[in-house]
Amino acid sequence: MAEIEERARELRRKAARFALFCAVESSDEAAARVNAAAVTWMQETLEDIAATALGMETAFREALLHAHQVDFLRASEADKQVRPFGREDSI
């Protein structure tokens, strides 16, 4: 996740430099509009990538938590089966 975030930050900086360059270099209004649209698309795409990476990390953590809960429940059930006649006293 950290690597993706770092790449996204790097690309955001490059997109900002590109936007600045285009603003300085654009001599006609049509080119300026096209460049502005391109920069907007790049920024939105980078936001989508960051959001996707965050969603993937969140889903992974939830799956990991669920797996640990399942393991705990299985161990709990196995422990109950070992105790004779349903005794709940400590072993």
Domain segments of the chain as ranges: 2-82
CB–CB of 39/19 below 8 Å?
yes
Per-residue pLDDT band for 7 (boundaries 50, 70, 90) equals: confident
pTM over 0.85: no
H helix count then E strand count, the chain: 2, 0
pLDDT more than 70, % of the chain: 87
- List, for residues 38-59, the tens digit of each pLDDT value: 889 988 998 898 888 889 989 9
Lowest mean pLDDT among 3-7, 23-27, 56-60, 69-73: 23-27
Amino acid at 69: Q
